[in-house]
Structure 1
Amino acid sequence: MVKKWIATIAAVFAVNAYADEASVKKAIEAVYPKVKIDSVVKTPYAGLYEVFLDGQIVYTDEKFSFLIAEGRLVDSKTKRDVTGERLDELTKVDFAALPLDQAVKVVKGNGSRKLVVFSDPDCPYCKRLEQKELANITDVTIYTFLFPLEKLHPDAANKSRAIWCAPDRAKAWNDWIFNGQLPKAQGTCDTPIEKIAELGSKLNITSTPTLVFADGKRMLGAYPAKDIEKAMTSAASGSNGKK
């Protein structure tokens, strides 16, 4: 009998929680009808609700009487960056589902580790990442998705096509990144650039470079080699990249 009461009470609380989250979502959509809200979850902190939208986390209360944007929620007792942990979880990529055959493949050392990079040929930070950081990392297979941001770099798509259509894509990519040289004979071929653009949109990738590790976690920007190494080690320790 007691177990039935406990189950009933738990069910009531669950229904109320979902109802509250649904009402918060509805309240936000009424004010911002064009914003796509991926999820609303009540946190254990002072009645705050976590709202995941447009690849970011914001916070509000049950009445949507305020909105906290671009802030970090940190647990004062454990010093945990709650926002950072939740973003890692919510933006995790299904690495096994990525179309790696549509990427430029560069093998370094034994190539045992895997790393995906969304890169724009004309992005200065992408070049810095390759020249200053990835150049110092070995035993990794790097899959580069050519992801030209044409609004910022109008000629990036042409460079992407030239690199993809080269007889040796890995060499063409390295020649461009390290020497500023495109293939002399720029042939034409079918490229996956439009498909990669669709993939980037689906994964909410809006900037380059964006790195994706074997455990699905992502890193934005030209981070130091030591941070990339740490992330790859963490990904490898998670049951070979699966969690």
Structure 2
Amino acid sequence: MQYLYTPASRLTRALRPAAVLAAVLTLSLSVHAQAQEDALRAALQKRIPQLGKIDEVRKAPMPGLYEVRVNGAEIYYTDAKGDFIINGSILESKSLRNLTEERLNKLTAVAFDKLPLADAFTIVRGNGKRKLAVFEDPNCSYCHRFERDLQKIDNVTVYLFLYPILGPDSVEKSKAIWCSRDKGQAWQDWMLRQQQPPAAASMCNTTPIARNVEFGKTYRLNGTPTLIFPDGTRIPGAMEASQIEKYLSQTNKG
């Protein structure tokens, strides 16, 4: 059997033109794609100025569509020419994953160590080693259900952010709870036993509640409860005890 021997230097020289061509093609495609996205952004900004500031245009998960991100974390979709605007979510049919929601959650992710914990109060169970932050409205029926399930979870510190977004009564209840001598007890008395604390004293500083609402608007916390785990995982909506336990185990490592 014969073998063909080609010196490494000769082989390198032979391959170099192909490698250079591939690099040039890749760069050309990248420049073309960027130019197309820039043109689409300019066209949309001119046609529909009421969209607001367009921060980014990129290919969407669905072929043929482009994602248009405006005002920080609002998402629309459009065709390659910008003739149509779609306001809605893209769901993957096989798994029913909401790809738009996943993208928004990524854009508005909140690092746990960046949470304004001074504007929350804590409820500690067991050794309190595991961490969980929750934004809740005292008049939210899903929050009441969630709190009942949360009672079954041990060895956790819950950072509770009062987040009154359902109306004036929610604000007043939140103020009363925040101004209670034992915030955690007052919260659980209301959420689990419907025992409302006395109205907040006039000298009580309730600005943390207002800051929570502004924080939620910034990070698009549109519903309650919203759960934030130490690894940045954000879950909107009530969860059963088994689900809470699962996420606590997965995200409280290290």
* Paired letter, 2:169: D
Aligned to 2:138: 121
Aligned to 1:99: 116
Counterparts of 2:70 and 2:84, CA distance in 1: 16
* Paired letter, 1:102: D
Counterparts of 1:146 and 1:134, CA distance in 2: 16
Aligned to 1:23: 39
- Stretches of structure 1 lacking an aligned partner (at least 5 in a row): none
Cα pair distance change 1:195/1:185, threshold 3 Å = closer
Cα deviation for residue 225 of structure 1 reads 2.4
| Residues 137, 225 of structure 2: 8 Å contact kept | yes
Larger radius of gyration: 2
| Residues 110, 140 of structure 1: 8 Å contact kept | yes
Cα pair distance change 1:168/1:31, threshold 3 Å = same
- Structure 1 runs (4+) greater than 6 angstroms displaced: none
Aligned to 2:88: 70
Say whether 1:190 aligns with 2:208: no
| Residues 89, 98 of structure 2: 8 Å contact kept | no
Cα deviation for residue 97 of structure 1 reads 0.5
Say whether 1:206 aligns with 2:222: yes
C-alpha distance after superposition, 1:7-31 (max 9, x if no partner): 4433332232223223333344432
Cα deviation for residue 221 of structure 1 reads 1.4
Say whether 1:41 aligns with 2:69: no
Counterparts of 1:67 and 1:234, CA distance in 2: 39
**What percent identity do the matched residue pairs reach?**
42
Within the candidate set 168, 179, 183, 1:169 is matched to 183
* Paired letter, 1:48: L
Cα deviation for residue 107 of structure 1 reads 1.0
Aligned to 2:6: none
**Could you state the TM-score of these two structures normalised by the residue count of structure 1?**
0.81
Aligned to 1:225: 241
Equivalent residue of 1:201, what SS?
helix
**Could you state the TM-score of these two structures normalised by the residue count of structure 2?**
0.78
Counterparts of 1:233 and 1:148, CA distance in 2: 29
* Paired letter, 2:183: R
